[in-house]
Amino acid sequence: MADDYCEISEDDIKAARQIEEALENESLTSAAGKIQEYLKKISDVQLNIAITGESGSGKSTFINVLRGLGDEEEFSAPTGVVETTQKATPYQHPKHQNVKLWDLPGIGTTNFKPETYLQQVGFDCYDFFIIVSSDRFRVNDVNLAKKIQEMKKSFYFVRSKIDSNIDAEKKRKKNFNQDETLQNIRQNCVEGLRDHGQGFPQVFLISSFELPLYDFPNLVETMEKELPDHKRRVLLLSIPNMSLKINQRKKENLQANIWRSAFVSACVAVIPIPGLSFSVDITILIREIRMYYQAFGLDNESLKSLADRTNVPVEELKAILKSPLNKEISQDMVIKMLTKTTGATLMLVEYLLSTIPVFGSTAACGISYGTTYYMLNNCLNELAEDAQNVLMKALKVDE
pLDDT (tens digit per residue) in 315-335: 999 999 998 877 777 767 766
- Give pLDDT, residue 26: 57
Domain tally for the chain? 2
Judged against a pLDDT cut of 60, whether residue 82 lies above it is answered with no
Question: Which residue type sits at 310?
Answer: T
The pLDDT of residue 92: 92
The number of helix segments (H) and strand segments (E) in the chain equals 16, 6
Assess contact for 380 and 255: CB atoms under 8 A.
Answer: yes
- C-beta separation of 224 from 243 below 8 A: no
CB 157 within 8 A of CB 206: no
Q: Is residue 130 part of a domain?
A: yes
More confident residue, 271 or 247: 247
pLDDT score, position 132: 92
- 357 and 381 in a common domain: yes
State yes or no: pLDDT of 248 exceeds 60: yes
pLDDT at position 230? 75
Instruction: Give the pLDDT band of residue 4 (cuts 50, 70, 90).
Output: very low
Residues 138 and 273 grouped into a single domain: no
Asked whether the predicted pLDDT for residue 81 surpasses 70, the reply is no
Query: Residue 386: is its pLDDT beyond 90?
Result: yes
What's the angle, vertex CA 307, arms to CA 69 and CA 237, rounded to 5?
A: 50
- Phi and psi of 51, rounded to 5°? -110, 120
**CA 312 to chain centroid:** 24
Of 84-93, 102-111, 289-298, 338-347, the poorest mean pLDDT is in: 338-347
In a domain, 185, yes or no: yes
| Same domain as 28, residue 111 | no
Distance between CA atoms of residues 144 and 141, nearest Å: 5
288 vs 130 pLDDT, higher one: 130
The residue type found at 146 is K
pLDDT digits (tens, 9 = 90+) for 197-246: 887 888 999 998 888 889 998 999 899 888 887 788 889 889 988 889 89
Do 163 and 59 reside in the same domain of the chain? yes
Q: Are residue 215 and residue 348 in the same domain, yes or no?
A: no
**8 Å CB contact between 156 and 222:** yes
Is there a single domain that holds both residue 71 and residue 111? yes
Instruction: Identify which of 279, 253, 384, 266 has the alpha carbon closest to the alpha carbon of residue 338.
Output: 279
Which of residues 167 and 347 earns the better pLDDT score?
167
Beta-bridge mates of residue 154:
128
Task: Tell me the CATH number at 76.
Answer: 3.40.50.300
- Which residue among 175, 208, 240 closes a domain? 240
pLDDT number for residue 47: 93
Specify whether 53 is located in the same domain as 70. yes
The mean pLDDT of 180-199, rounded to a whole number, is 87
Q: What is the pTM of this model?
A: 0.76
From residue 87, alpha-carbon distances to 107, 111, 113, 313 in Å are 11, 10, 13, 39
Q: Which of 26-30, 128-132, 261-265, 364-368 has the lowest average pLDDT?
A: 26-30
> Which of 61, 66, 245 is CA-nearest to residue 162?
61
Q: Tens digits of per-residue pLDDT, 93-132?
A: 988 888 999 988 876 665 666 667 777 778 888 999 999 9
340 assigned to some structural domain: yes
Q: Is the pLDDT of residue 385 over 90?
A: yes
Q: Of the ranges 182-196, 256-270, 349-363, which is most confident?
A: 182-196
136 vs 133 pLDDT, higher one: 133
Is residue 109 domain-shared with residue 79, that is, in the same domain? yes
Does one domain contain both 52 and 38?
A: no
Q: Is the pLDDT of residue 250 over 80?
A: yes
From residue 164, alpha-carbon distances to 62, 252, 311, 345 in Å are: 15, 34, 19, 64
Average pLDDT, the chain: 78
For the chain, the residue count is 399
Band (345; pLDDT cuts 50, 70, 90): very low
Q: Are residues 133 and 200 in the same domain?
A: yes
Domain that holds residue 39: 2-43+248-394
Whether residue 252 sits in one domain with residue 227: no
Same domain, 116 and 10: no
The string of pLDDT tens digits covering residues 8-51 is: 556 556 666 666 666 566 554 455 556 666 666 766 789 999 99
Q: Of the residues 219, 240, 261, which one is the last residue of a structural domain?
A: 240
How many CB atoms lie under 10 A from the CB of residue 207?
22
Q: Is residue 399 part of a domain?
A: no
Last residue of a domain, one of 211, 240, 269: 240
Nearest to 246 by CA among 75, 68, 99, 16: 68
pLDDT given for residue 1 in this prediction: 43
What's the rounded Cα separation, in Å, for the pair 47 and 258? Answer: 22
What is 286-353 written as a DSSP string?
A: HHHHHHHHHHTT-SHHHHHHHHHHHT--HHHHHTT---GGGT---HHHHHHHHHHHHHHHHHHHHHHH
Q: Which residues contact 381 (CB under 8 A, 6 or more apart)?
A: none
Reply yes or no on whether the pLDDT at 264 is more than 80: no
